[in-house]
Amino acid sequence: MESIVDTVVLVAISVVGAALARRLGFVAPLVLLVAGLGLSYVPGFPDAHLEPELVLIGILPPLLYVAALQTSVPAFRLALRPILLLAVGLVVVTALVVGFLVHLLLPAVPLAACVALGAIVAPPDAVSATAIARRVGLPRPVVTILEGESLLNDATALVMVRVSVGALMGTAIGFWEITAAVSRAAGGGLLIGLAFAVAAAWLHRKVEDALLDDAVALLTPFVVVIVAERLHTSSVVAVVVAGLYLGHRIPYLLSPTSRLQMDAVWRLIVFLLEGVVFLLVGLQLRDVLSAIETDTATTVKVTAVVFGALLVIRFLWIYPATYLARLIPRIRNREDRPPATVPTVIAWAGMRGVVTLAAAQTLPEPGVDDVPVYPRELFVFVAFAIIVLTLLVQGTTLPWLARRLGVREDSSAEDALAEAGVQHAAGRAALEALEEHADGAPESVVERLRGLVENRGNNAWERLGSQERETPSAAYGRLRREMISAERHVFKTARNEGRIPEEVLVRAQRELDLEESQLQRSDD
C-alpha cells in the first residue's frame, strides 16, 4: 500500500512540475530534475531508487517505440548517412576520447572503466532534444537527424558499455571479439524487431476490436525488448526497428477508432514516463553525491573535463561530417549544402537523459567477481551531473540559439501547397467514388457529401496564406464550437431534470466530443 501511495505522489508531482514548466516556458525535464533534488532534502519524503532494469525494459522501450512510430521512414532513409555518423561514429569517438581523458586525470583507474564512463555519457537523450526541436520549430531535416540519432545512438552506447565492462572484468576482448559482439547485438536486434513487427502487423489486420488492437500495440514494445534481452541482442535496435516498420504501416493496419485511441494512450504514457523518470533522477542525486569517496576537487575536475569534452567533441565531429562529405560528387549532387547555422544548432542539441542514467547504474561493484577497484560512485555522479549540466546549459539555451541564428521551420507554405494539391486529387477521387455508389441515395445526402469535399479542398487552399483577419474555416471552427457548447448544455440540463437517461447523454456527448476534437486538430 505504501509503495502505491509513493507512486501516486511521484506521478502527481511530475504532472504538476510539467504543467509549471509549460507555464514558465522552461524545459520540463530540467524543472522536474530540480524539483526532485529539492524534495530529496525534505525530511520524510520517500526514498527513490531507479533500477537499471526498470529503465532499460520498462521505461526506455515505450519512449523509443513511440518516437520510432512517429518518425517518417522516407525522411529517415534520406538522412541515414548523417544519422549513422552521429549515432555510431560520434558515440564511438566520444566514448574513446572521454575515456582517455579521464584515464589521464585518474591514471590509477583502469582504462576500460574510463571508456565505459565515456560510453555512458556519449548518447544524447531521445526525449529532450526532439521535444525541444519540435517546440522551437526547427527545420524538418534537422528534427529528422536529431530523432534518428537519438533512436540509434542508445544501441551503440550500450554495446560499448558492455564491451568495456567485459574488458574491465578481465574478459579477453580484441578487434574480432568486438566486431562479433556488435554484429550479434545489432543484427540480432534487427531480425527480432522485424520478426515481431511482422507478427504484430498480422495481428492488427486480424483484430477488429479497437480495445484489442490497442492492447496489441501496447504489448508490442515490451515483448520485443524482453525477447531481445533474453537472446542477448540489442533490445534498443529491436524496438526501434519494430516501431519504424509499424509506424510506416499504421494507416493500413489500424481502424480510425484504434488510431485515435492509441494516439491518446501513447501520449499519456510518454508524458507520465518522461516526467517520473527525470523526477527520480533528481531524487537520487543526493544519495549519489553522499556516496562519493573522492575528494571534491577531483570530482569537480573530472566532471568539468567530461562536460567540456562532450561539447568540444560534438562540434569538432559535426562540422567536418557536414561539409567534408559534400566534397564527394554523388553526395554533393544529392544533398544541399546547409548554412553553418544548421550544424551549430545540431551540435548544441546534445542533452543527456534516460539512457545515461540507466547505463550508469549498470556499472559493476568494484571488488566483486574479480572486478578491479575503481571509483564507481564518482563515475555514477559524473553521469548524473552530465544529465543536469546538459539540460541546464544546452536545454535552456537551445531555443534562444535557434532563434538567434534564424534556424526555424520555413516550409509551411511549401507544405500547404503540397497539401492543397494532394487534397485536390483526393477530392476528385472522393467525388468519383460518390458518383459510382450514389445510386438510390437521397439527393440531399449526395449534395451534402459534395459540399463536404468542396469545403475540405477550400480549407487546404486557405492555408496557403489568406490576408483576411479570419479565414472561413477559422470562422466555421469558432462558431461550431459555440454551437457545440450550447448543445452540450441542453443535454446536461435534460439529464439533470430527468428527461433523458444517462446513456443518452453519454452517447450525445461522445458525438459532440469527437466533432470538437476534430475541430481542434484542424486548428493545430
Number of CB atoms found within 10 A of residue 321's CB:
17
Per residue in 288-318, is it b (16+ CB within 10 Å) or e — as a string? bbeebebeeeebeebbebbbebbbebbeebb
Residue range 50-409 in CATH 1.20.1530.20 = yes
Cell of 247: 509506424
The rounded distance, in Å, linking the Cα atoms of 403 and 355 is: 29
Angle formed at CA 226 by CA 220 and CA 227, multiple of 5 degrees: 90
Q: Are the C-beta atoms of 67 and 266 separated by less than 8 Å?
A: no
Question: What is the pLDDT, as a whole number, of residue 10?
Answer: 85
Q: Are the C-beta atoms of 332 and 104 separated by less than 8 Å?
A: no
pLDDT tens column, 233-271: 888 889 999 999 998 888 778 777 788 788 888 888 888
Question: What is the pLDDT, as a whole number, of residue 467?
Answer: 47
Number of CB atoms found within 10 A of residue 130's CB:
24
Question: What is the pLDDT, as a whole number, of residue 195?
Answer: 94
DSSP state of 125: P
Q: Radius of gyration of the chain from Cα atoms? A: 26
Q: Are the C-beta atoms of 36 and 280 separated by less than 8 Å?
A: yes
Cell of 50: 531507479
Cell of 138: 526547427
Distances (CA, A) of 502 to 459, 496, 507: 37, 9, 9
Question: What is the pLDDT, as a whole number, of residue 96?
Answer: 93
Question: What is the pLDDT, as a whole number, of residue 241?
Answer: 92
Cell of 78: 534520406
Q: Which residues of the chain have pLDDT under 70?
A: 1-2, 126-137, 170-178, 409-424, 455-473, 520-524
Closest to 255 in 3D by CA, of 217, 227, 292: 217
The rounded distance, in Å, linking the Cα atoms of 437 and 463 is: 31
Question: What is the pLDDT, as a whole number, of residue 324?
Answer: 85
The rounded distance, in Å, linking the Cα atoms of 453 and 457 is: 6
Question: What is the pLDDT, as a whole number, of residue 177?
Answer: 67
Distances (CA, A) of 105 to 302, 365, 452, 467, 508: 7, 21, 70, 63, 69
The domain locations on the chain are 50-409, 416-465, 474-524
Residues 6+ apart with CB under 8 A from 102: 109, 114, 117, 118, 302, 305, 306
Q: Which conformational region is residue 468 in: left (phi greater than 0), alpha (psi within -120 to 50 degrees), or beta?
A: beta
- Quote the distance between the C-alpha of residue 418 and its chain's center: 27
